[in-house]
Structure 1
Amino acid sequence: MNLLERVYQYSVNVVEGNIVAGKKHRQAAARFLNDLERSIYDKDCYFYFDNDELEEFNEWASLFKHTKGVIAGQHIQLTDFQLFLAANIICFKKKENNYRKISSVYIQLARKNAKSQFLAILSSYIAFLSDQVEEVYISGWMKEQSDIVYQEILKQLERVPSFAGKYKTSYNRIHHLKSGSIIRALSREARQFGEGTNPSLAILDEYHTHLTSEIMESLEEGMGARANSLSVIITTAGRNLNAPCKAEYDYCSKVVDPDNPVDNDSYFVAICELDEGDDPFDESLWMKANPIAATYPEGMESIRKRAKKAKDAADAMPSYLTKRMNIWVSAQEKGYLDLDKWSTCLWEAPIDITNRKVYLGLDLATKQDLCSLGIVIPLGNGRFYVDSHSFIPNESLESRIQSDRAPFRQWLREGLLTMTDGAVTDYSYIIDHIEKIVRDNKWKVLEIGYDPHDATYLSQEMSEKGYTMVEVKQNIATQHEPLTEFQEKVLKKEAVHSGNGLLTWSIGNAITVNNSDDRIKLSKAKSTERIDPIASVINAFSRAMHGNETIDYNKMFLSKGFSF
């Protein structure tokens, strides 16, 4: 089977579902098959497929050795996916001048899928084998990012003995002596981002980190004098939905979609990602975002480790989704609490919370979503122990898993979440849970602060059982003081917790809005995921912060496993 047959069969397998692939990658494979058919059977087609170019690129790649991983030192053998990229990018050519049909490329892959390796091969291939003076620029927002591909090129070249004396390096520049071509790393950080350049190949690596499009615009402006130029964006998904990369991703999603009227025949798009509704912890789907890493045991194990961390620590979830599953996730840059600061408040030793005076908080949200119970226990010396427990109707569980992309089943197993019968939360479960934990821990509940929205029945029931119920309105006047006071407690490590993953996840989701006086409140409208657990804790803390209880310091300090 020759290389074109390999790429053809790979594309057919992707389209027909024999290879696990996401929707946009299937669209890209179908697009290739359509272009190949046009080039062969349509006499009026303006381009053709150059099979010799694909063979030459593959032969060039085979000169180099893997520089990383378990097969470091072995000669590179391009995978079918890498050949698919090369076939699309460099092998379709215009009949009138033999220039490449493709002038722009957008590739979005999860990490550890040989992006740097492929870019390094492409860079040296264009720079070293051309009969013209080529200028290749690798551009990152920061110098460290630009250097990744550049250093990969150097390592590849240095391991080919026959290349000795055919190039020289200096100041982040590789100079090919025969052709005069150069390969250079640029960065905005070093104020080097394309002024006066004339790129034939411009690579923007990890474009999701670029805060503006100035590097791309500068390089593309320099390409104006090049007749056969190529710009390549290669990236993982990111967490800044306002970044230029997200806008490019949205545009490219339309380009590759056959049902969308946006048509750009000179733009090649390869987006490998999980589809909407996919379970990010389902190993059978990982190949959608990892077309190389998910094909060998070590790659799968690396993803598996990241998945476990995301399950165990909710603050690791956004990184796992963006870097390993290639899903765009909101960064929540105006988040209420810094999760790094919150993690420093983790109290690993057991804390005796029995026989305590306790403040509880309720956030009932809507009956179809999470309802949460917040727990705040004064420990003395201005310190508080905080925790939460949440409730979800069983008929909402699957939709919540798909829409929130969060490990709800894990939290059920850990006892952080209770599933109630039916399509809406049965408040009797909440009442029974409160009664049980109060009884088991021998607590004296001083007050229960609650959001009055949709809480009339539960409030009446709890009042009849002897609990003091206090309305906590969800407005700036009521929320500003407890929100800012709780922030201060976290910064001072005076709000300790035991690592409740569901609570941590909700803190990562929570953002605030402010008025003209910079007073703040939690915003459920602007928080894209659930914030009910932290909202319930704030409702409890709003009452606890004003408490003036006498503390038994001997009991506190002598309790098992507790010390400061």
Structure 2
Amino acid sequence: MILPDPLKVSPYEYEGTHSFLLEYIGKCKIGEILIGQELMQMLDVLLGHFDNPEIKVDYEDAYKRIKFIETKCKHFEAPFAGKPFVLELFQKAFTEAIYIFKIYDEEIGRWVRLYQDVLFLVARKNGKTPLISALCLAEFFCGELGTRILCSSNDYEQADLMFQAINSMREESKSLMNVTRSNIKGIFFGNPKKPKKTGKFSYKNKGTIKKISAKTGAKEGKNIKVGAVDEVHELKDNSSTMPIRQAVSTQDEPLYIELTTEGIVNDGYLDERMREARQVLNGELERPRWLIWLYTQDSEQEIWKNEKSWAKSNPGLGVIKKKSFLKKMVEEAKSSKSMRVFVLSKDFNIKQNNASAWLTPEDIINEEEFDLEELRNCFGIGAVDLSKSGDLASARIILMKPGSQKKYTLQKYFIPESKLETLSKEDRKRFVEWIRSGLIDVSPGNENDFSLVTAWFVKLVKEYGIRPYKIGYDKWSAIYWAKEMEEYGFDLVKVSQQDWGSMSEPMRLVEADLKSNLINYSNNPIDKFCLENTALDMNTKMEMRPIKVQGKEDKKIDGAVTIIIGYRVYIDNRTEFLSLVGR
């Protein structure tokens, strides 16, 4: 199809009706609106529909829903709370794309909506949840009698966000409130205070809007017309989406919408959906009923070099999402690996591997060494990762000098003799050298003798006067060892390395201190080895914890874990510990 001339007085019309979709395509084509190549591929497909004799273009359903949203829906969150929901051009174009294209269904015997399956990928804070919530509410009122809608997500809290957005928009409108009611189970037609005996807005209309999460049972068997699944990047597989997709399959014109940003779950549900979506866009896979609307960047490099390119993944930039906020995020991402992972995935829809290296070689390399005599009679913070009894274990003490932010850390490693035989040839050579150098103590047989860990801390006290203020330890296999340590008078604190909340803050501080050369680990090669093998695992709250780098599952990270555990204890007791250091 030949695009209308944008310089004419009435451009972007099709058969005498203005099309927001054609307007959007036209402005994208001339570069007035910047989008990525993947969305342009979809727009080219949509443009071809206008010339396809087997597809009918009918604006009625789209215009009805756009009008409903702009006249009946109001925003409910600051800074737009109470204001009418005025749709941006990209939102109107997206809505049109869903509703205006019709195909004749021989089985049903009438024209039906072409697109029944929608994937909507857009960076965070671009209004995706309010938009889909408004569309669900519009479908509830503008759709047929008995329309049932289901809001879903990976957890109940996220599913509730969409449901509450729908309900809040309903509550903002007196006319919508007059014909509906809500409770903890959902939203329903019929108002007990102003009952209607017949018609669409009476109790006879059994339409509902409800919410479920991926953890909710008994999803099969629901007969719904609209299913909207939020933040699908968190899903590990299709076990929570397939029941919803099957539940809409009985409808003549079902609508199944997945809305999300990119994520950091490896080999998750979204990864498979994105692979299929890209195959469809490239003509390698046929899915004619699937609307794929992806706001993605064309490369990572353009993010750092060209601020204008940010609009490709952020269509609401400057109106819905503040550019100053995004600038701040990008600047922080330049100096922090954890922030970089989060920003690239959540603000620019660039998939991040959550098992890639946490630190760069430059962050890790520090050839400084220190003489323990300089720190004699100091207070310290201990940290222990006993791991499994048949594996490498790590013990550490973190020391500081009065008036300095630098942390000096002394470490000792422990391994059972039999474990050496299971190491790779390359690692075995390293470990044998480290044992000869006195960096690792070996226990005979198949298990670590954890009393050697206790003896190491006792030795620090007796020979150097170093007094552990508190010792953090991961609770794995530590019951008897902890009891032994407490009998010696040591104060132990449990710190779980599997807990996002425990690990996140200390990991950030360790990263920052390594970059600033504020950690002196006396050039210990095992510490370097462990830091190189450590990856960050991040959740959607931007909390992180240490895991092994993908592909290095046989490598060790125990030394990195004890640094982080030590920092957790330091953060929790900073004021009191520093007062002891300053004495």
TM-score class normalised by the smaller sequence: 0.5 to 0.7
5 Å matches for 1:379-390? Answer: 380=375
Give the whole-Å Cα distance in 2 for the aligned partners of 1:230 and 1:92: 14
Residue aligning to 2:289: 266
Residue aligning to 2:411: none
Residue aligning to 2:324: 301
5 Å matches for 1:143-292? Answer: 143-177=156-190, 178=201, 179-191=205-217, 194-257=219-282, 260-281=283-304, 282-292=306-316
1:136 aligns to 2:149 (yes or no): yes
Residue aligning to 2:77: 68
- RMSD of aligned alpha carbons: 4.1
Give the whole-Å Cα distance in 2 for the aligned partners of 1:152 and 1:215: 22
1:32 alignment partner AA: L
| Cα deviation, residue 53, structure 1 | 2.0
Give the whole-Å Cα distance in 2 for the aligned partners of 1:110 and 1:328: 12
1:6 aligns to 2:14 (yes or no): no
1:203 alignment partner AA: A
Give the whole-Å Cα distance in 2 for the aligned partners of 1:330 and 1:19: 30
Instruction: State the TM-score, normalized to the length of structure 2.
Output: 0.60
| Cα deviation, residue 501, structure 1 | 4.3
5 Å matches for 1:374-523? Answer: 374-378=366-370, 380=375, 475-476=427-428, 478=430, 499-501=513-515, 510-511=533-534
Which of these residues, 43, 55, 63, is aligned with residue 63 of structure 2?
A: 55
1:301 alignment partner AA: S
Find the residue that maps to 1:239 and give its secondary structure.
coil
Residue aligning to 2:523: none
Find the residue that maps to 1:175 and give its secondary structure.
strand
Give the whole-Å Cα distance in 2 for the aligned partners of 1:50 and 1:36: 11
Instruction: State the TM-score, normalized to the length of structure 1.
Output: 0.62
Give the whole-Å Cα distance in 1 for the aligned partners of 2:34 and 2:440: 46
Give the whole-Å Cα distance in 1 for the aligned partners of 2:514 and 2:472: 17
Residue aligning to 2:88: 79
1:276 alignment partner AA: S
Q: Structure 1 331/164 Cα, relative in aligned 2: closer, same or farther at 3 Å? A: same
Instruction: Give the number of equivalent residue pairs.
Output: 400
Give the whole-Å Cα distance in 2 for the aligned partners of 1:4 and 1:509: 58
Residues 117 and 256 of structure 2 are in contact (CA less than 8 Å); yes or no, is this contact kept in structure 1?
yes
Q: Structure 1 53/498 Cα, relative in aligned 2: closer, same or farther at 3 Å? A: closer
% identity of equivalent residues: 17
Give the whole-Å Cα distance in 1 for the aligned partners of 2:93 and 2:224: 24
2:326 alignment partner AA: I
Give the whole-Å Cα distance in 1 for the aligned partners of 2:440 and 2:161: 42
Residues 12 and 29 of structure 1 are in contact (CA less than 8 Å); yes or no, is this contact kept in structure 2?
no
Give the whole-Å Cα distance in 2 for the aligned partners of 1:497 and 1:91: 52
1:9 alignment partner AA: E
Give the whole-Å Cα distance in 1 for the aligned partners of 2:184 and 2:83: 29
| Cα deviation, residue 497, structure 1 | 7.4
Give the whole-Å Cα distance in 2 for the aligned partners of 1:147 and 1:299: 25
1:315 alignment partner AA: S
| Cα deviation, residue 203, structure 1 | 0.9
1:320 aligns to 2:343 (yes or no): yes
Residue aligning to 2:35: 21
Residues 11 and 32 of structure 1 are in contact (CA less than 8 Å); yes or no, is this contact kept in structure 2?
no
Find the residue that maps to 2:334 and give its secondary structure.
helix
| Cα deviation, residue 56, structure 1 | 1.0
Give the whole-Å Cα distance in 2 for the aligned partners of 1:187 and 1:524: 29
5 Å matches for 1:78-117? Answer: 78-96=87-105, 97-117=110-130
Q: Deviations 1:414-461 (Å, cap 9, x if unpaired)?
A: xxxxxxxxxxxxxxxxxxxxxxxxxxxxxxxxxxxxxxxxxxxxxxxx
Find the residue that maps to 2:209 and give its secondary structure.
strand
Give the whole-Å Cα distance in 2 for the aligned partners of 1:318 and 1:187: 26
| Cα deviation, residue 118, structure 1 | 1.1
1:13 alignment partner AA: K
Q: Structure 1 185/118 Cα, relative in aligned 2: closer, same or farther at 3 Å? A: same
| Cα deviation, residue 498, structure 1 | 5.6
Q: Structure 1 312/489 Cα, relative in aligned 2: closer, same or farther at 3 Å? A: farther
Find the residue that maps to 1:37 and give its secondary structure.
coil
Give the whole-Å Cα distance in 2 for the aligned partners of 1:105 and 1:246: 16
Q: Deviations 1:96-155 (Å, cap 9, x if unpaired)?
A: 422111111111110011111111111112222223311110111110010011000011
| Cα deviation, residue 70, structure 1 | 2.7
Q: Deviations 1:207-249 (Å, cap 9, x if unpaired)?
A: 0111221111111222232121111111100101210111001
| Cα deviation, residue 17, structure 1 | 3.0
| Cα deviation, residue 510, structure 1 | 4.0
Q: Structure 1 225/511 Cα, relative in aligned 2: closer, same or farther at 3 Å? A: same
Q: Deviations 1:240-285 (Å, cap 9, x if unpaired)?
A: 121011100111112122xx32121100001111122433333211
Give the whole-Å Cα distance in 2 for the aligned partners of 1:476 and 1:37: 68
Give the whole-Å Cα distance in 1 for the aligned partners of 2:550 and 2:21: 48
Q: Structure 1 307/172 Cα, relative in aligned 2: closer, same or farther at 3 Å? A: farther
Residues 314 and 502 of structure 1 are in contact (CA less than 8 Å); yes or no, is this contact kept in structure 2?
no
Q: Deviations 1:503-562 (Å, cap 9, x if unpaired)?
A: 99x9998448xxxxxxxx9869659xxx9xx99x99xx9xxxxxxxxxxxxxxxxx9x97
Residue aligning to 2:49: 35
Give the whole-Å Cα distance in 2 for the aligned partners of 1:301 and 1:212: 36
Q: Structure 1 140/277 Cα, relative in aligned 2: closer, same or farther at 3 Å? A: closer
Find the residue that maps to 1:246 and give its secondary structure.
helix
Residues 141 and 210 of structure 1 are in contact (CA less than 8 Å); yes or no, is this contact kept in structure 2?
yes
Q: Structure 1 497/508 Cα, relative in aligned 2: closer, same or farther at 3 Å? A: closer
Give the whole-Å Cα distance in 1 for the aligned partners of 2:73 and 2:351: 33
| Cα deviation, residue 71, structure 1 | 2.7
Q: Which runs of 5+ in 2 are unaligned?
A: 1-9, 191-200, 382-424, 442-452, 454-470, 475-494, 496-505, 520-528, 536-546, 564-577
Which of these residues, 311, 317, 321, is aligned with residue 334 of structure 2?
A: 311
Q: Which runs of 5+ in 1 are unaligned?
A: 340-361, 364-369, 385-472, 513-520, 542-558
Q: Structure 1 322/129 Cα, relative in aligned 2: closer, same or farther at 3 Å? A: same
Find the residue that maps to 1:197 and give its secondary structure.
coil
5 Å matches for 1:528-547? Answer: none
Give the whole-Å Cα distance in 2 for the aligned partners of 1:279 and 1:73: 37
| Cα deviation, residue 309, structure 1 | 2.6
